[in-house]
Amino acid sequence: MLGVSNLNIKLLILNSLNMFSNSEKIVANFVMENLIEIPNMSTNELAEKANVSVATVNRFSKKLYPTGGFPQLKLEIAMDSSSNGNSILNEFEPEDNLSEIKEKLASRFSYTIQRTKKLVEEDNIQAVIDCMKQEKIIFTFGSGSSELVANDIRQKFSRIGRNIVQIHDPHQLVVGMSTHKKSILIAISNSGETKTALDMASVAKEFDFEIIALTSNKNSTLAKKSDYVLQSDSTGEGALLRSSATTSLISQLFLVDCLYYAAIKNNFKESVELIKTTKEITDGLYNQKKK
């Protein structure tokens, strides 16, 4: 994995926090706080300074760079200019002007999309598309910023003939699912631990639904309750301010687009005709309103 200027090391570590043990998180925090010193340290020195075992340092490094381990980690840090001062990882500093804020956000978004691209598995996408091809009602649910993703799924897939229902109120969603058993639920939760999403997944299980989870944590409770898991990126989720929610939203929307265009490709001619038809109808309604 090659370095990407100005942000990768800290973002990579933050993005990987869920897969570290408690002792490995100690190493992670030490590395992020002492980036300049790391390229000159041995594994023994880092272990001693972080007060962990050498084995912990090696496990931490291998989780970041499976083939290169600690030597590659040192090389990446040495190449990463973000270790020399304020990193673009920071959402913004009080003295930043608008140009600097734009650059930081653009870099975060670009990095997030690249990370998400690597997480998209073609076989998994195809399995989800095959599931959604069935003549079943598809319920989609998310709360908070995840509701925007649920709406995007409804808006896109309804245009290519999928029978999709988005219900905001959890109580109304339960009623809807109870009258359409053995259907499909797409549950969206970046953490995979959002209570309402977990509750809806549990109810869906009771009604023999197939469950598709969209989450950044493949080991989450939601993922374990689901038949299919689409993994988004969680870059920057440790950040203090709200661009963390924005980057996760960008990742989720990119993943939805991958699913959408793959579904169109699978049935291209019919999908294009359906899209044309819906566009003509909506354009006609809009033009009528203007008169």
Structure confidence by residue, pLDDT tens digits, 168-192 = 999 999 999 999 999 999 999 999 9
CATH code of residue 62:
1.10.10.10
Q: Which of 26, 28, 27, 40 is nearest to 74 (CA)?
A: 40
Q: Are residues 34 and 158 in the same domain?
A: no
Strands 138-142 and 164-166: parallel
Domain span at 10:
1-86
- The answer to whether position 264 is within a domain reads yes
Bridge partners (DSSP) of residue 215 are 231
Task: Report the distance separating Cα 209 and Cα 177, nearest Å.
Answer: 9
Task: Report the distance separating Cα 178 and Cα 222, nearest Å.
Answer: 20
CATH code of residue 223:
3.40.50.10490
Q: Are residues 48 and 157 in the same domain?
A: no
Task: Report the distance separating Cα 28 and Cα 20, nearest Å.
Answer: 9
Task: Return the number of other C-beta atoms located less than 10 Å from residue 68's C-beta.
Answer: 15
Q: Are residues 183 and 226 in the same domain?
A: yes
Total residue count of the chain as it appears in this document: 291
Q: Are residues 80 and 132 in the same domain?
A: no
Number of domains in the chain: 2
> What predicted TM-score, i.e. pTM, was given to this entire model?
0.71
Buried b (16+ CB within 10 A) or exposed e, 48-67: eebebeeebbbbbbebbbee
Q: Are residues 39 and 143 in the same domain?
A: no
Contact 11/109 with Cβ under 8 angstroms?
no
Task: Report the distance separating Cα 217 and Cα 182, nearest Å.
Answer: 26
The per-residue pLDDT for 2 is 36
Average pLDDT, the chain: 86
Look at residues 43, 68, 86 and tell me which one is the last residue of a structural domain. Answer: 86
The per-residue pLDDT for 86 is 43
Q: Are residues 80 and 123 in the same domain?
A: no
Residues of the chain with pLDDT under 50: 1-6, 81-89, 238, 240, 242-243
Q: Are residues 162 and 229 in the same domain?
A: yes
Task: Report the distance separating Cα 162 and Cα 18, nearest Å.
Answer: 34
Q: Are residues 184 and 272 in the same domain?
A: yes
- The answer to whether position 104 is within a domain reads no
Look at residues 46, 68, 86 and tell me which one is the last residue of a structural domain. Answer: 86
Sign, Cα dihedral of 245, 248, 254, 260: negative
Residue type, 34: N
Q: Are residues 268 and 127 in the same domain?
A: yes
Q: Are residues 156 and 238 in the same domain?
A: yes
Q: Is 228 left (phi over 0), alpha (psi -120 to 50) or beta?
A: beta
Structure tokens at 61: 């490094």
- The answer to whether position 82 is within a domain reads yes
